[in-house]
Amino acid sequence: MRLYLLTILLIVSWGAWAQQDSLRSGLNFRPETIQSLDDSVVFRDKKGRAISREEFNRRYNPRKALMYSAVMPGLGQIYNKKYWKLPLIYGGYFVLIRQIGIYQNGYNRFKSELFDYLNANNNGANLQKTAGGFPESQIRNLVDKARRERDFFMIISGV
């Protein structure tokens, strides 16, 4: 099997040696044959007026947008006038926080069911009525899974 895979790999990679350019080495090739003049480039603002290169470059400062985003997520997008991205950012935060709440509620519910199950087991009560008749190991697995998922979403929302 290994010999078969090695043979196929060699056959497929054989074409990689065909990529060497033998013609270019003999030619006197100059890649910069066309040069643009800085004066010929015209920058325009949103109203169509011609502006200088310096004024065009001063419109948005990426460092400033980064600092705004570090202070408050989404503020850099407001600075760059990309307002449509804000619902995506805060929608993502909402989903993460909602998932944390869902798993926290499940964790509390399963933990209280496990507590009730253990108390009923110690008191000799009917175990079918407590915790829906599930065995202790399954309830412990549900508690652990809810805690793990809650912790995972907390870590993701912190990053």
What is the number of other CB atoms lying within 10 angstroms of the CB of residue 76?
A: 21
Structure tokens at 99: 């998932």
Residue 25 lies inside a defined structural domain of this protein: no
Residue 38 lies inside a defined structural domain of this protein: no
* pLDDT at residue 28, rounded to an integer: 61
The domain boundary residue, chosen from 32, 65, 81: 81
* pLDDT at residue 98, rounded to an integer: 95
pTM confidence score: 0.56
Pairwise CA distance, residues 47 & 50, whole Å: 9
- CA-closest candidate to residue 145, choices 95, 101, 94, 111: 111
- Both 102 and 66 in a single domain? no
- Both 142 and 102 in a single domain? yes
Say if strands 50-51 and 43-44 run parallel, antiparallel, or are unpaired.
Answer: antiparallel
* pLDDT at residue 12, rounded to an integer: 74
Pairwise CA distance, residues 70 & 7, whole Å: 53
* pLDDT at residue 66, rounded to an integer: 92
Range of the domain at 118: 86-158
The domain tally of the chain equals: 2
Residue 3 lies inside a defined structural domain of this protein: no
Pairwise CA distance, residues 13 & 15, whole Å: 5
Structure tokens at 58: 């001063």
Please, is 154 exposed, middle or buried when counting C-beta atoms within 10 Å of its C-beta (0-12, 13-18, 19+)?
A: middle
What does the DSSP 8-state code read for residue 43? E
* pLDDT at residue 116, rounded to an integer: 84
- Spans in the chain with pLDDT lower than 50: none
